[in-house]
Structure 1
Amino acid sequence: ATGQPLSQKAISSLFLAGFISSALVGTAAGSLVDKYGRRAGCLAFAIICAASAVSVMASRWSLLAAGRFLGGVATSLFMCAPESWLCAEHARLSLPAAALGELFGWAYFADSIIAILAGQVASYAAAVGGPTAPFLASLPLLLMGSIIVVCTWSENRAVIGGGGGGGLRDGLYALMREPTLLALAFLQALFEASMYIFVLVWGGAVASAAPTGADVPFGKIFSCLMAACAVGSALFSLLSGLKLRVEAFMQPVLLGAAIALYSAAFPPADVASLVWPLPPAWLYLIFCFIGFEVAVGVYFPAVGSMRGAYLPDSQRGAIMNITRVPLNVLVIIVALARDELGDRGALLCAAAALLLATVALATIWMRGVKTKLE
């Protein structure tokens, strides 16, 4: 708020604060959402997210850190409450299973389009009102979303049955006793960890690869990445319409994502043995990152569909946020080792996580095939 720039170390600390709070406090959020209601969880997200956005006006580092801590809690609520509500309503209305996957596909397609528009609005707000303006611009949107939830959503809570509850302990027990749920949790943690590592790296990597003194159009690049996400979500809807199993068509998608980030770790100057001409290093990186974002666009509706099919409603929110613990731990480790790893090391860590996610997905697919044979 004072206009004084923060040091890179302070920015990194604030970045980590959100992941640490999500890992420490966020796990309880899923259980509370299951117990007290998914609609209430969405409203709590809006309130906490608004407080986090307002915190950027503070001039004290401690208040900025508190805002990022609240941001981590809000993220945990956002990652479980809306989806849990949707899956429960889908089950209550007895809609066909294919309808859930189609809904996820178009929802994430629209999300990508909105992200493109939001990026442009944020750029304009920052140009007019300074770096804190985009955060404040989110407040009317949070209010509008809250009004929609209050006026159009009915409350739903976890359906407790079979002797199981919706608490954190019951969610852990469900993961431990069911290998498919455990593999799905590892798939989500590994893929989304690679995505957050990518978020940590991509801007600096593109800036480093750009010609000296070049004005890198980050806003336009971000819009291209979000457009790639939209393409991926539309591709998911197309593949789902062909009645292909999500577990089957997602395997080449994950492998493609791993190849994209591995390739980004070795820009053209390091692969001189290739016989065809390569674009400049920064453009090469952008193409690699666009390939990864297409996979991200396919991933989110795909994993939403799998969670809708596999997660028990009584522990849905708890399991979704338990999964975020290893995710956050992985991101924190890479972030703390950022100086030693560099862009290349961080990208290779993300690519390795994607390969392990492919193994977890193959485990789910093989168990499904085995069940059908039996």
Structure 2
Amino acid sequence: MITNFYERQLVILTALCLLSLALERFISKPRQLPKQSPEERLENGTDPRGVNSLAKLTQQYLVVYALVMGADWLQGPYVYSLYREQYGFPERYVAILFVTGFLSAAVSGPLVGVWADQHGRKRICQAFCITYALTCACLQFPSLPILLLGRILGGISTSILFSAFESWLVSASTNAGLSSSDLSLIFGRATLVNGFVAAGAGIASNKLVASTGTFTSPFIASGILLVLSYFVIKNSWSENFGTTDKNASADPFQTKRLKQAWRIVRQDPLLLVLGLTQTCFEGSMYLFVFLWVPFLQEASGSSQLPLGYIFSSFMVSMMLGSVLYTFITQTLPSVFSSSNSSKTHPSNNGQASNGTGATISSLETTDSANTQSLTLHAKLSSCVCALSALSLAASISVRSAESEQWRFWAFCGFEACVGMYYPVQGMLRGSLISNEHRATLSALFRVPLNIFVVVSLLTGVSSARYAVLTASTIMLSFSAVMTGLVIVDRVDGKGDVRRKRPLTH
């Protein structure tokens, strides 16, 4: 009976996702620009290499992103089972292992960001493949010291995964001359790919465990994907940097650069709120990972839930959020820009000469499009936090006979917000953080996030799950309000903030 319910929901969500994908592609087709000659593209302010550059960069990034996220998702479902069931460690040791991973990520995060900016994002991404593959190797041995070493390497790898890869993409898109809408499209597609990969990895890991009879097999498969990722990055990616310092060798821990990065954040309320949003949302997301199983088990009155179907439903919900994000960001700006251009430039076909052969309107349109994109993403960030808070609040507000179904759909709503959050936050970081310090600041934002998760784990998340979700709801609501009051107000009221605030300090 329980399994039939979750099977039906998975089928419904999958059908909705496929329908949304088809609808999004159908609606986006009429908005595609007609083919133009290179001269016409230059006249209209469009780089003639733009289309090819977008396709090339999308392929370069998404292939690698699918491989590394596939390696990560293969490990996720069975880390706890490997420690607790196969190796037989007590619950206290398992908690120590998990906390070690988060502490490692918190400590290494700023250094990883600095090294990525200083020594190259491509090189650090290749280092990720090595450190995460070593993590998989450590997990093959039932020895606590070796497993602790694996968790330390895993924390370092996580810091790289969620800072250097994104920084490489943003910098590569800038070097390729792509617009903010192009970058937004890549971020949306990446989240969609992540959903497909997560669902596939969950099925693959189940098959591997069933066929081999051991929880270590998914980690071996993950290591193979990481080795493959290393060579794909090596052969297809170009290197890009932040700022380079000739005296970097004299300061291997880059304390001077870290102080400079912290000063930048401290002096800019906009970046402080950006970091606050990351801590509140991703902290709630990590705690949700620990809580959704006991919450649904409590509501159903059974410990035998079809967790595979439920996990797949969450991943499909995340893909739905990604599709919604792509639809919004690719539809609304074009609608606004077309109406604005017809009102602003009624004569001379919407263009005015500046005496040098270039057109003023094309430059204004490009700048206006970037400002509109930034404003839209700031508003989306506030809405995503608000909807996430509403979803978590709904999951704990009803404790009736139908609370299991209610909680399931509330959790699906939260996962849909996750699908929108990552591309939205990635675009905001790419727009508001200068290239010189992008990886450093992105990693620096993860320090309070990891500390928050560690403190929550040490205080006992599962035993106080209602209090934890209530606190997460309050934090997300606060983040939504602060984003609206600070980021949205500043971007919407002052235009392109990237030109109004210093990028280097």
Indicate whether the TM-score tops 0.5: yes
1:87-166 pair list within 5 angstroms: 87-129=170-212, 130-159=214-243
Q: Which moved more, 1:202-211 or 1:150-159?
A: 202-211
Corresponding residue for residue 330 of structure 1? 452
Between 140-149 and 4-13, report the one with greater CA deviation. 4-13
CA contact (8 A) 1:266 1:344 kept: no
Superposed displacement of residue 199, structure 1? 1.0
Cα offsets for 1:316-344 (capped at 9, x unmatched): 11101111111011111111112685221
CA pair 339-141 structure 1, distance change in 2 beyond 3 A: closer
Residue from 426, 435, 439 that aligns with 1:304: 426
Moved more, 108-117 or 126-135: 126-135
Equivalent position of 1:233 in the other structure: 322
Say which SS state the counterpart of residue 70 (structure 1) adopts: helix
Matched, 1:76 2:159: yes
Three-state SS of the structure 1 residue aligned to 2:86 is coil
Q: Does 1:263 align with 2:394?
A: yes
- Give the letter aligned to residue 405 of structure 2: L
Contact 1:197 1:331 in 2 (8 A): yes
Gap change, CA 1:159 and 1:24, over 3 Å in 2: closer
How far, CA to CA, are the matches of 1:225 and 1:305 in structure 2? 23
Per the alignment, in what secondary structure is the counterpart of residue 275 of structure 2?
Answer: helix
Count of residue correspondences: 361
Give matches, 1:333-344, under 5 Å.
333-338=455-460, 342-344=464-466
CA distance in 2: counterparts of 1:302 and 1:340, whole angstroms:
30
Q: Distance in 2 between matches of 1:62 and 1:253?
A: 41
Moved over 4 A (4+): none
Q: Match for 1:173: what amino acid?
A: R
Measured at CA, do residues 339 and 145 of structure 1 come closer, stay the same or move farther in structure 2, by a change above 3 Å? closer
**Which of 290, 296, 302 is the equivalent residue of 2:412?**
290
**1:184–1:360 Cα contact (<8 Å) kept:** no
Q: Distance in 1 between matches of 2:205 and 2:199?
A: 10
Any unmatched runs of 5+ in structure 2? 1-81, 246-253, 334-372, 501-505
**Cα gap change, 1:160 to 1:51, in 2 (>3 Å):** closer
Q: Deviation digits for residues 58-106 of structure 1, max 9, x if unmatched?
A: 1111211211111110000111111111111111111111111111001
Q: Highest Rg: 1 or 2?
A: 2
Per-residue deviation at 1:3?
Answer: 2.8
Q: CA RMSD in A?
A: 2.0
CA contact (8 A) 1:105 1:236 kept: yes
Q: Following the alignment from structure 1 to structure 2, what is the Cα–Cα distance between the partners of residues 15 and 265?
A: 26
1:16 to 99, 111, 114: 99
Report if the CA contact (8 A) 2:132-2:154 is conserved: yes
Letter in 2 for 1:371: K
Residue 146 of structure 2: which of 59, 63, 66 is its match?
A: 63
| Conserved 8 A contact 1:193-1:353 | no
Point out where structure 1 has 5 or more consecutive residues left out of the alignment.
270-277
After TM superposition, the score normalised by the length of structure 1 is 0.91
Question: In 2, distance between residues paired with 1:36 and 1:182?
Answer: 26
Whether the 8 Å contact between 1:33 and 1:40 is mirrored in structure 2 is: yes
Q: 1:168-207 alignment to 2 at 5 Å?
A: 168-207=258-297
Q: What do the CA deviations read for 1:33-82 (whole angstroms, capped 9, x no partner)?
A: 11011001111111111111121111111211211111110000111111
Query: TM-score, normalization: structure 2?
Result: 0.68
Question: 2:117, 2:244 within 8 Å by CA — same for their partners in 1?
Answer: no
2:494 corresponding residue in structure 1: 371
> How far apart are residue 159 of structure 1 and its match?
3.8
Name the CA distance, whole Å, in 2 between partners of 1:196 and 1:74: 17
Would you say the 8 A contact 2:380–2:424 is kept in 1?
A: no
- Identical pairs, percent: 28
1:52–1:71 contact (8 Å) kept in structure 2: yes
Paired residues of 1:265 and 1:345 also in contact (CA < 8 A): no
For residues 343-354 of structure 1, the aligned pairs below 5 Å read: 343-354=465-476
